[in-house]
Amino acid sequence: MSQQATNDAPRKANARPEHAAQARRGMGHGPMGGMGATEKAVTFGASAKRLLGMMRPERNLIIFVVVISALATLGNALGPVILARGTDLIFDGALGGGIDFSALGTVILEALAVYVVSGLVLWWASFLINDIVQRTVYRMREQVATKLHRLPITYFDRQPRGELLSRVTNDIDNIAQSLQQTLAQMLTNIFTVLGVLAIMLWLSPPLALVVLISVPLTALVTAQVMKRSQRRFVDMWRSTGELNGHVEEAFTGHSLVKVFGRQREVAAGFASKNEEMYESSFKAQFISGIIMPSVFFIGNLSYVAIAVLGGIWVAAGTMTLGAVQAFIQYARMFTQPITQLASMTNLLQSGVASAERVFEVLDATEQTVDATTHLPEPLQGRVEFEHVAFSYDPEKPLISDLSLVAEPGSTVAIVGPTGAGKTTLVNLLMRFYDVDAGRITIDGVDIAAVPRPELRSNIGMVLQDAWLFGGTIRDNIAYGRPEATEAEILAAAEATYVDRFVHSLPDGYDTVIDDEGSNVSAGEKQLITIARAFLADPAILILDEATSSVDTRTELLVQNAMNALRGGRTSFVIAHRLSTIRDADTILVMEDGAIVEQGSHDALLEHHGAYQRLYRSQFAGGLDDEEEAA
């Protein structure tokens, strides 16, 4: 059977009022109301280790970068020793018989060569690190995208869309920025500290000890500040996600906001979220910003001590002026990387906080693994619900002990008030959710044992809210069957009356649908989605209020096309307009998750029960008047 498009059924499924409201009720989610998703405390070390572990595929390149960075840093570290010789040449020459400019020129050329080569190598290392980071982030995006396809619908019920989008976009971008701005400097700074320390110990162990005293003080200050600022960075990115969610929700529903005059409330909600983001961002940056001035202060104390002690030893003749000059340079070279490392903690904390938010997505529980049982071929389309029970909330049962049989080629209409469980029924058939008890079979095969892609490839679904993606009308029709020929696409378009309006568009079937689908009407969008299901040629059809967006004349045309499509196929039709399901083989009347009546249109009217009450409510003139008009 051909692969078919389900019209973005998962997106629609998790928006149904029968469960979406229940799933979000505990989260404070309402119209333009933002989110209330909680954040667990970040474990900095474990998350940072995992983030670095994602670079493992690039380990050979990383080793090479480490080696050339170490060599380049060593070259930089030798610079002051070389220049110290020049200082001593000048000082000794001034006191003695003159300056040896030839030797001084050699020293300058040596220093210049060392700095130029080291600089070029460090630039190369930085370039390679950027490549490593971008490859790592590329894989992370791939992992997140793949993960999202493996998550159950219930996960998206619990995750506000704006918050999830923020994790997939903003947080991953922040990880890339943080790694790119810190890794190269961290490598250089670490090697600089180690190389300079070795040279200082060689030049003067006592002065080296003075410099080393600043290290534990710097580490203590940095650790204390990081401990207090890390939680603030988590709050900052959480509030960023909430603000994005609010903005996305407000812009998506901007027409509704204006219709009900809620602009002021939406603006107030934005101001509240913006204020929360400002507060969390300010606190995170302010606390982490304490590190830099603290480290500078500690470093300046060590400079004072070196200058005083060095001056005394030069006067005593135990140390040359060039050595003191070199040592002062080394002290700065030693403390500057430590200062830079400390200043990078805010970037590291921010990146790790974002990484943990992404890891939460990657660690989310996936839907159950599909079994390997296959549906019979050719598929007849006999669908049976056997004592099915299901609820979105364990404390609020929705469907209990529901049984029904849809024979091959029959049309089963499902009617009932909002929240009765109509859409839930077809969501279970599509395995967007798994039953709590009982089972659903197709041609005697339990669908729980059938791989989801195989199951859904045999079911065509058209939803109440038409979904089109950015692309041409031709592409949208062929979405569920990309291998379809041009003739097959045109045949589906003609059968669903898409062909009638396409020729009025400037580019015909090559007309590009924009992001919002605003260049075609709601009815035209619905016809395109119906043509998509036509082309897929499924064995089972699900029509969820498929004609609700079209006018009466178009509805009649679509109904005629649906009648032709349903020929020989098992069809489930969810309908509010009872006039559209008169010819159904079986009409199921659902209330509170149970089937309270079933039968044909005429039989149910004669029963004088729930169906008749629904029918009368739609025809205010009375049942007899409507039947006469019909």
Weakest-pLDDT range from 250-264, 382-396, 465-479: 250-264
Q: What is the pLDDT of residue 565?
A: 65
Residue 82: enclosing H or E segment and its boundaries?
helix 59-95
Q: What is the pLDDT of residue 630?
A: 39
Q: What is the pLDDT of residue 611?
A: 86
pLDDT above 90: percentage of residues in the chain: 3
Q: What CATH number does domain 56-362 carry, 3.40.50.1260, 1.10.10.10, 3.40.50.300, 1.20.1560.10?
A: 1.20.1560.10
Angle ∠(598,601,602) on CA atoms, nearest 5: 110
Residue 625 has pLDDT above 50, yes or no: no
Is there a contact between 545 and 555 (Cβ–Cβ < 8 Å)?
Answer: no
Closest CA to 542 of 431, 627, 438: 431
Q: What is the pLDDT of residue 440?
A: 92
Helices 205-252, 172-203: axis angle to 10 degrees equals 170
What would the DSSP string read from start to end of 539-598?
SEEEEESTTTTS-HHHHHHHHHHHHHHHTTSEEEEE-S-GGGGTT-SEEEEEETTEEEEE
Weakest-pLDDT range from 136-150, 198-212, 545-559: 545-559
Is there a contact between 36 and 28 (Cβ–Cβ < 8 Å)?
Answer: yes
Which parts of 253-320 fold into alpha helices (H)? 254-259, 263-289, 291-316
Q: Render pLDDT for 287-315 as a digit per residue (tens, 0 to 9).
A: 767 776 777 777 777 777 777 777 787 77
Q: What is the pLDDT of residue 441?
A: 92
Residue 389 has pLDDT above 60, yes or no: yes
Homologous superfamily (CATH) for 373-629:
P-loop containing nucleotide triphosphate hydrolases (3.40.50.300)
Q: Render pLDDT for 446-483 as a digit per residue (tens, 0 to 9).
A: 988 888 888 888 888 887 777 788 788 888 888 878 88
Q: Which amino acid is at 505?
A: L
Higher pLDDT, 433 or 81: 433
Spatial distance between the Cα atoms of 452 and 448, rounded to a whole number of angstroms: 8
Weakest-pLDDT range from 62-76, 84-98, 153-167, 481-495: 84-98
Both tokens of 598, joined, read 């079933």
Mean pLDDT of the chain: 77
Q: Render pLDDT for 597-617 as a digit per residue (tens, 0 to 9).
A: 888 888 888 888 888 888 888
Local structure of 233: helix, strand or coil: helix
Q: Render pLDDT for 262-280 as a digit per residue (tens, 0 to 9).
A: 778 878 888 888 888 888 7
Q: Render pLDDT for 169-209 as a digit per residue (tens, 0 to 9).
A: 888 888 888 888 888 888 888 888 888 888 878 877 887 78
Weakest-pLDDT range from 163-167, 238-242, 341-345: 341-345
Domain layout of the chain by residue ranges:
56-362, 373-629
User: Chain centroid to CA 271: how far?
Assistant: 25
Which parts of 204-262 fold into alpha helices (H)? 205-252, 254-259
CA distances from 159 to 163, 244, 361, 579, 604 (A): 7, 13, 10, 38, 42
Residue 346 has pLDDT above 90, yes or no: no
